[in-house]
Amino acid sequence: MTRQLNKFLPAIFGVVILAAGLASEAQAQATKAASGLPLPRFVTLKAKKINLRVGPGQDYAVSWLYVKSGLPVEIVQEFDNWRRIRDADGTEGWVYHSLLSGKRTGMVTAKNPHDLIDIHAKPDPASSVSAKLERGVVATVKHCDNGWCAISGRGFDGWIQQVRLWGVYPNEKVG
């Protein structure tokens, strides 16, 4: 009996290893959308006027109108060429994929509306402060690493602590 079992062990282990590989591949695919890109992910509104719809298609009602390009949004679901997005306020709805850009921007966050967030000359809290930004300011994200992001915008250029930006994930490396 042992001799017969030893004969089949390599085949059994091969099936187990193959099944484990397929399971991990299926798990990886579960985090990717039809586009092949990961979900969720941050993108930016490309157009100046974008209708946010209650469903994935032009036949669905418009629930919101964005009137500013460059705002960061998070894609949380995909259906065909439609993307379900979430904005910094938590509003969700569907937009057509071509109205979004892979360009990365971030929105400054603060606990209190009147707090000013320091922008540093270097990715170091001890470095000089080059600007102070209000909550809601949108900046281009150039690079993020080790908890800091290099950002720029109208009248400022410097480093911000990554936790102070909505539009990048904690510890995400960008650029």
pLDDT tens across 32-78, in order?
Answer: 777 899 999 999 999 999 999 999 999 999 999 999 999 999 999 99
| Residue 34 pLDDT | 79
Tell me how crowded residue 117 is: count the other CB atoms within 10 A of its CB: 18
DSSP string covering 42-73: EEEE-SSSEEEESSSSTTSPEEEEE--TT-EE
Please count the residues of the chain. 175
Query: Last residue of some domain: 103, 124, 139?
Result: 103
Using DSSP's 3-state secondary structure scheme, residue 16 falls into helix
Is 130 domain-assigned? yes
Q: Based on the fold, state whether residues 110 and 64 are members of the same structural domain.
A: no
Helix (H, G, I), strand (E, B) or coil at 128: coil
- Domain membership flag for residue 160: yes
Nearest 5 degrees, angle CA 98-CA 78-CA 68? 40
Q: Is the pLDDT assigned to residue 4 strictly greater than 60?
A: no
Closest by Cα among 61, 64, 57, 93 to 77: 93
Pair of tokens at residue 37: 């890109």
Q: To the nearest whole number, what is the mean pLDDT of the chain?
A: 87
Same domain, residue pair 17 and 49: no
The domain boundary, picked from 103, 122, 142, lies at 103
Rounded to whole angstroms, how far apart are CA atoms 171 and 65?
A: 31
**Is residue 171, in this structure, part of any structural domain at all?**
no
**Cβ–Cβ under 8 Å, residues 83 and 97:** yes
* Residue 156, pLDDT score: 97
d(CA 168, CA 165): 6
Give the tens place of pLDDT for each residue, 129-159.
999 999 999 999 999 999 999 999 999 999 9
Domain, as residue range, for 85: 41-103
**123 phi, psi to nearest 5 deg:** -75, 65
| Same domain, residue pair 71 and 89 | yes
Cα 7 to chain center, whole Å?
50
Same domain, 26 and 45: no
User: Is there a single domain that holds both residue 6 and residue 60?
Assistant: no
Average pLDDT over residues 117-138: 97
The pLDDT value recorded for residue 89 is: 95
Angle at alpha carbon of residue 151, lines to 136 and 45, rounded to 5°: 55
- Residues 81 and 129 placed together within one structural domain of the fold: no
Q: What is the pLDDT of residues 81-102, one digit of tens each?
A: 999 999 999 999 999 999 999 9
